[in-house]
A and B are shown apart, each in its own frame.
Chain A
Amino acid sequence: MRVPLRWLSDYIDLPTTDPDELAHALAMLGHKVEGIEEVGADWTGVVVGRVERIDPHPDADRVRVTHVDLGDGDLHQIICGAWNFDTGAVVPVAVPGAVLAGGFEIARRRIRGVDSHGMICSERELGLGDDQTGIMVLAANTPLGVPLASVLDLPDVVFDLEITNNRPDAMSMVGVARELAAWFRVPYHRPEVTLVTVPGAPTVAITISAPDGCDRFVAREIRNVTVGPSPLWMRERLRRAGMRPISNAVDVTNYVMLELGQPLHAFDADRIAGDRLEVRWANDGETLTTLDGTVRPLTPADLVIVDGDGPTSLAAVMGGARSEVSHTTSRVLMEAASWHPATVMYTSRRHQLRSEASTRFERGVDPNLGPDANARACRLLAEIGGGMVLEDVVDVLANEAHRVTVTLPIGEVQRILGDRYTLDTAAETLRRLELDVVADGDALEATVPTFRPDLTRPADLIEELARLADFDTFPETLPTGPAGGLTADQRRLRRMHDLMRGLGWHQAINLPFVTTEELGLFTDGDVHEVVSVRNPLRDEQARLRQSLLPGLLRNVRDNRNRGASRVAMFETGRVFYARPWVEDTRVPDQPMRLAAVASGPFGDGGVEGSTAPADATVAFAVVAAIGEQMGVAMERRPARLPGLHQTRRRVRAERSHRCRRARSRFAAGPTGSHPDDPDLDLSSRRLRPVVRRPRCAPGGGAGGGHCVRVRSGRICDGVRRVPARGRGGAVGGDSLPSARR
């Protein structure tokens, strides 16, 4: 939220105006300042003048020669190229010696034989806005000769605050003033809401038929309003706060929303059909054309305001086009209502309509703010748009707002915050936040104002006490746990990482999403047990991986495309299957896996200089090294996977001898429960050291230890994603393909 310091200062006498000090106070209150913007401080020498006479330029068609009164009794001749004003216009004038934004200096000039003593400025030239339609025209009663800066309340500083979701009360100038008042221990004041009224009552009858969505609806009628532009001061404040001025009737609602935090809506009372407004849930099939011109289909979950002709406003989110105020409006019905946050959130999300109003209602606007905010808006509109406020107010109260009382034992405060608070100091602090506090033994009975919906429990009040104590003042103490350390599984994963790194492999981390095609590459038979994302942002993120290999293959392709000749990457991570997980059967199976892919030269033991390509033997070697390091059995058998070349048993005598020996040392029993999985399972269940001599034949059913299968193969042509010459190989844990390139 943007908070201009000048505006804020209407409600509080701040002990400092130093922007950095204020930013620190706001940050320590929990309202982080994301930016401090200085406005209008980048020009000098601009004063207010009135155009008294306009002559044509004798020698130029596109400019005129104006004679401007700067309040000093003289007429100053200034040539001007804008045509959006007439004699009598009060305008900003940069006099000779003035310096405009960007260091542009104004001097006496001669333009086609005519002297020009300065420049009449546009908003854009003064850095006040983007309006390029012409020069800036000020109110006719602006005193002549005064510096424009003082007319505009400049220079000013605008704080951009991040207001957290739990603090709707701070989403206004008064709300921020209230916070700073508590911090600095100074008073703050609310704006004037007393009204001068004429006898009369609104013609429109109001009913709330949806008390489960609307607590209160306050309305007043203002007659004989002249809708037109707001005065400069209001437009300027709105702009500085980040809102676009529209017309006085609309600007007043936005102004009061920013000032007090209560969103309002101005209806053209003459365009309310049947002189009645009703708050109700929409019916299927109903539509509403909102202010932005969009026709929106409604559902029974949308809360609407209807008149005799049906929906005329999307409650709390956006008004309807049908009852919008326009330049012909003279009778305004000013609405200030209280809506339920969940309803507003649903409707604004469903219609993708987020407004300043919906943002505030979603978080919770003080249900008792309506009457004051309504009066304030009516007062302002009567002031700037003429008109008379009718005496009678319509205040429909569907649900009364009750104040919450919280019992806070002081021991509870001290348990969390230490001994810094006593019963008395805690009470004093909470009172600064406008809670009504009485002591009851060792506890405080604190009654919370309705603008603080976030305070309902002792913990909420402890947070307030911590906040106002200033987090900076808390000492630092260091508790330590009874015994730190890694589990066996965690140590194993680290050793695996270190081993792979030492063997020359780089770790990759991929998004765990794959395409349907990729899913099928490393699965025997049909793709099954796929876990899908129900609401993917993009189709590529709709399916979860069952193997780490597709991601790694993409990494190899990308790196080769970037010119890398040798790529060796591994990844450890979870894969997902739509079947119960052994560690918690309520969630899908998600074992940790390891896989690796290499392409390009990969010499024995990682020694460069060998031009030997990464092939199946590299894969065998890595898996064997893992087996050796982890002390687990590794056995190789032929296998078929669509992503791998067909394999067969083809071992030379010497290798076969080694295998036999290995088998006699390690291989002991059946493979894991899911032998089709292509990656190496890292769960301790599967990867467990074999500690006793085997008693069974390979592939047999007798249980001794476990063994991890090793498959060999080459990546099929169809899977070759690496558009590069040379050879490459892929290692997939217990599946060990090699790719020929």
Chain B
Amino acid sequence: MDLADTLTDLRNRTSVAAGEASTLEGLDTVETEALGARSPIAEARRRLGSLDAEERTAAGRAIQETAAAIQGVIAVRRAELERAVRTARIAAEAIDVTLDYRTLRTGGLHPVQQVIDEVAEIFVGLGYKVAEGPEAELSWYNFDALNTPPDHPGRLESDTMYLDYGRPEDGMLLRAHTSPIQARYMEQHQPPVYVVAPGKAYRNDTIDASHLPVFHQIEGLAVDESITFSDLKGTLAEFARQYFGPKTTVRMRPHYFPFTEPSAELDVSCFNCDGGSAACRVCKGTGWLEMLGCGIVDPNVFLAVGYDPNEVSGFAFGVGVERLAMVRHGIDSIRHFIDNDLRFLAQFPG
């Protein structure tokens, strides 16, 4: 048998054998037999040296072509077999989705924290920074800098918690609202000022369904060259829409606070009934929810922190965090917020 026949024969045989190989191991054997050290191909290569130059070139090319063809056949078959193996393995390893599994417990943030974070995010989106301040505070920042009259009832010990610390004339106290943060912030920063300030507030109150001696507020303050009453209304309307939903409308009513003038209370249209139900349990049929106090910053507050009230104007607002959470979630008593009962806390994922 001459070389050409040998190669043709080998090629045909290997092609058949590869097709018949049903495992990767079997295919390896076929490959070894066809191309290995003892294969006819190897034998033919060894013989090349004994041929003259002209024959050697032709024979070498024939051997190479055959070897390449055989490699191609085997590679195709190998790919087929590997695919089959993988398919079989995937089928064999299929997971039972009804399997019992171990639980990764996650915790949660307190609903008060969630409201604080959310409100801060809304105002950060409007270009506000977040400010903080001490809870043990000087009377100056809590009252005087905020234009509170010397005989204001809020200063009485029946309302405000005073501390045994520092000089008596400092009137060290636990801040009764977050508003001292705005006075401090203005003292340290020049306008324009756009800040919100979340934090604890302290009042000498007995705990009941609507009072806690310690609760949370978020204070807001914008001071710029030409802040108007409409700016206050528009800002709070935007906040209400982001917090309560896009259909929310707001209503402002005149009110009184020492540190703002004009002062207002802000009502938010009831997100539960849209003002449409006399039986609504959230707004008690009024269609409005009383939400927060606000106003145009009183000129005396600017003077106290060293701003010129003729150069700048501003607005401020303060909202009760627990109130925001109670309204949104329909919580009936403010006490829940300090009970730290996991059965309560777990109802507020996030």
Q: Which of A's residues lie within 8 Å of B, judged by CB? A: 27-30, 32, 164-167, 341-342, 345, 349, 362, 415-418, 457, 459-460, 462-463, 466-467, 471-472, 474-487, 490, 494, 497, 500-512, 531-537, 541, 544, 555, 558-559, 562, 564, 566-570, 573-574, 576, 578, 581, 583-584, 586-588, 590, 605-609
Q: Any chain A CB within 8 A of the CB of B2?
A: no
Bound form: Cα–Cα A578–B164 in Å: 9
Q: Give every chain A residue within 8 A of B230 (Cβ-Cβ).
A: 418, 474-477
Which of B25-33, B47-55, B103-111 sits within the interface?
Answer: B103-111
Query: B298, A418: Cβ atoms under 8 Å?
Result: no
Distance of B286 from chain A, by nearest CB (Å): 10
Q: Does B138 contact A (CB under 8 A)?
A: yes
Given contact pairs A466-B229, A544-B163, a sample of 12 additional A-B residue pairs in the complex whose CB atoms are under 8 Å apart: A28-B254, A165-B256, A349-B156, A478-B235, A509-B112, A511-B214, A533-B164, A536-B161, A562-B342, A569-B342, A587-B134, A607-B104
Is there an interface contact between B192 and A481, defined as CB atoms closer than 8 Å?
yes
Contact status A460-B105, CB under 8 Å: no
B19 within 8 A of A: no
14 CB-based A-B contacts, threshold 8 Å:
A28-B253, A415-B226, A415-B313, A459-B298, A474-B252, A476-B230, A483-B129, A507-B107, A512-B214, A536-B161, A558-B339, A587-B172, A588-B166, A607-B104
B157 at the binding interface (Cβ < 8 Å): yes
Q: Which residue of A lies closest to B253 (CB)?
A: A27
- Given A416-B229, A417-B229, decide whether A466 and B256 contact each other with a Cβ distance below 8 A: no
B98 located at the interface, meaning its Cβ lies under 8 Å from any Cβ of chain A in the complex: no
Contacts of A606 in B (CB 8 A): 104-106
A-B pairs with the 4 shortest C-beta distances?
Answer: A481-B194, A481-B127, A30-B254, A476-B234
User: Considering only CB atoms, which chain B residue lies closest to A584 in the complex?
Assistant: B134
With a CB–CB cut-off of 8 A, which chain B residues contact A568?
Answer: 105, 107
Task: Quote the shortest CB–CB distance from B254 to chain A (angstroms).
Answer: 3
CB-nearest residue of chain B relative to A559?
Answer: B342
Given known A466-B229, A508-B340, A590-B134, contact A478–B161 (CB-CB < 8 A): no
* B194 close to A480 (CB less than 8 A): yes
Query: Which residues B191-230 have CB closer than 8 A to chain A?
Result: 192, 194, 200, 204-206, 212-214, 222, 224, 226-230
Give the contacts of B113-149 with A (CB-CB under 8 A).
Answer: 113, 117, 120, 123-130, 132, 134-138
Report the nearest A residue to B100, measured CB to CB: A609
With A478-B235, A484-B125, A584-B134 known as contacts, the answer to whether A534 contacts B162 (CB < 8 A) is: yes
Interface membership of B251, Cβ < 8 A: yes
Are B134 and A494 in contact, CB atoms less than 8 angstroms apart?
A: no
Range class of the B interface residue count: 35 or more
CA of A53 to CA of B153, assembled, Å: 60
Asked whether any CB of chain A lies closer than 8 Å to the CB of B82, the reply is: no
> Interface majority SS on B: helix, strand, loop or mixed?
mixed
With a cutoff of 8 Å between Cβ atoms, the chain B residues found around residue A574 in the complex are 135, 200
B104: chain A residues within 8 A (beta carbon): 504, 605-608
Q: How far is the CB of B300 from chain A (nearest CB, A)?
A: 8
> Chain B contacts of A32 at CB under 8 A?
253, 255, 265
A20 to chain B, nearest CB (A): 10
CB pair A459–B134 under 8 Å, yes or no, is: no
Is there contact, CB below 8 Å, between A472 and B229?
A: no
Nearest CB on A from B200, distance (A): 8
Q: How far is the CB of B83 from chain A (nearest CB, A)?
A: 37
Task: Flag if B163 contacts A532 (CB, 8 Å).
Answer: yes
* Interface status of B345 (Cβ within 8 A of chain A): yes
| CB of A687 to closest CB in B, whole Å | 16
Q: A534-B163, A567-B342 are in contact. Are A466 and B174 (CB under 8 A)?
A: no
A33 CB to closest chain B CB (Å) equals 10
Task: Determine if A588 and B163 form an interchain contact, defined as CB atoms under 8 angstroms apart.
Answer: yes
Tell me the bound Cα distance from A583 to B104 in angstroms.
41
- Residue B76 at the chain A interface, CB threshold 8 Å: no
Contact A587-B340, Cβ < 8 Å, known A481-B128, A501-B108:
no
B340 near A510 (CB under 8 angstroms)? yes
Residues in B whose Cβ lies below 8 Å from that of A584: 134
Q: Report how far A288 CA is from B262 CA in the complex, Å.
A: 43
Given known pairs A533-B174, A608-B103, the reply for A559 and B298 (CB within 8 Å) is no
Cβ contact of A479, chosen from B113, B231, B339, cutoff 8 A? B231
Chain B residues near A362 (CB, 8 Å)? 153
Do B136 and A501 have beta carbons less than 8 Å apart? no
Query: Within the complex, which residue of A415, A484, A510, A534 is in contact with B124, where a contact is CB–CB below 8 Å?
Result: A484
Whether A416 lies near B108 (C-beta < 8 A) is no
Smallest distance from the beta carbon of A493 to chain B beta carbons, Å?
Answer: 10
CA distance in complex: A475, B110 (Å):
37
Note all chain B residues with C-beta closer than 8 A to A416.
228-229, 262, 296, 313
Q: Contacts A30-B256, A479-B224, A486-B130 known; A588 to B235 CB distance under 8 Å? A: no
Q: Does B299 contact A (CB under 8 A)?
A: yes
Cα-based distance from A479 to B166 in the complex (angstroms): 41
Per-position binary interface string of chain B over residues 86-98, scored 1 when its CB falls under 8 Å from any chain A CB and 0 otherwise: 0000000000000
Query: Which B residues are in CB contact (< 8 Å) with A581?
Result: 134
Please measure, in the bound complex, the distance between the C-alpha atom of A165 and the C-alpha atom of B153, giving whole angstroms. 10
Cβ contact of A466, chosen from B125, B161, B238, B262, cutoff 8 A: B262
From A341, A479, A584, name the one whose CB has the most chain B CB atoms within 10 angstroms.
A479
Given contacts A509-B338, A587-B136, contact A562 B105 (CB under 8 A): no
Residue B46 at the A interface, CB < 8 A? Answer: no
> Of the candidates A459, A494, A555, which one forms a contact with B261 in the assembled complex, judged by CB atoms under 8 Å apart?
A459
Complex Cα–Cα for A501 and B107 (A): 4
Known contacts being A460-B261, A477-B231, is A504 close to B126, with CB within 8 Å?
A: no
Residues of chain B lying within 8 A (CB to CB) of residue A471: 233, 251-254, 264
Are B162 and A509 in touch, CB under 8 angstroms? no
Contact between chains at A486 and B206 (CB < 8 Å)? no
Write the nearest CB–CB distance from A168 to chain B, whole angstroms. 11
- Residues of chain A within 8 A of B227, CB atoms compared: 479
How many angstroms between the C-alpha atoms of A417 and B212 in the bound complex?
37
A503 contacts B107, C-beta separation under 8 Å: yes
A482 touches B103 (CB 8 A): no
Are the C-beta atoms of B222 and A504 separated by less than 8 Å? no
Whether B163 and A531, one on each chain, are in contact in the complex, defined by CB atoms closer than 8 angstroms, is: yes
B164 engages A534 (CB within 8 Å): yes
Q: Which of A417, A504, A509, A607 contacts B110 (CB 8 A)?
A: A509
- Binary flags per residue of B244-265, CB closer than 8 Å to A gives 1, else 0: 0000000111111000011111
Let me know if B170 is at the binding interface, CB within 8 A.
yes
Residues of B near A476 (CB, < 8 A) are 230, 233-234, 237-238
Q: Please give the distance in Å from A88's CB to the nearest CB on chain B.
A: 48
Would you call B165 and A506 a contact (CB within 8 A)? no
- Looking at the assembled complex, report how far the CB atom of B43 sits from the nearest CB atom of chain A, in whole angstroms: 60
User: Given the interface contacts A586-B138, A588-B165, does A482 sit within 8 Å of B192 by beta carbon?
Assistant: yes
Q: Does A559 contact B172, Cβ atoms closer than 8 Å? A: no
Taking a contact as CB atoms closer than 8 A, the residue among B129, B228, B337 that contacts A485 in the complex is B129
Once the chains bind, are A535 and B161 in contact (CB under 8 Å)? yes
Q: Is B102 located at the chain interface by the 8 A CB criterion?
A: yes
Q: Determine whether the beta carbon of A164 is less than 8 Å from that of B165.
A: no
Which residues of B in the span 295-328 have a Cβ within 8 Å of any Cβ on A?
296, 298-299, 313
The answer to whether A494 and B117 touch across the interface, beta carbons within 8 angstroms, is yes
B346 at the interface (CB under 8 A from A): yes
Contacts of A559 in B (CB 8 A): 340-342
Measured CA separation A164–B163 after assembly (Å): 29
Find out whether the CB atom of A478 lies under 8 angstroms from the CB atom of B253: no
* Contacting residue for A472 out of B165, B228, B251, B256, CB 8 A: B251
| Contacting pair A608 B341 (CB below 8 A) | no
A607, B103: Cα distance in complex, Å: 6
Partner of A533 from B113, B150, B163 at Cβ < 8 Å: B163
What separation, in Å, do the CA atoms of A416 and B311 have in the docked complex? 12
In the bound complex, what is the Cα–Cα distance between A289 and B327 (angstroms)? 48
* CB-CB nearest in chain A for B195: A481
Contact present for A484 and B123 (CB under 8 Å): yes
Q: Once the chains are docked, how many angstroms separate the CA of A531 from the CA of B165?
A: 7
Question: Contact check: which of A417, A509, A566 meets B228 at CB < 8 Å?
Answer: A417
* B residues near A558, Cβ cutoff 8 Å: 339-341
Residue of B at shortest CB range from A472? B251
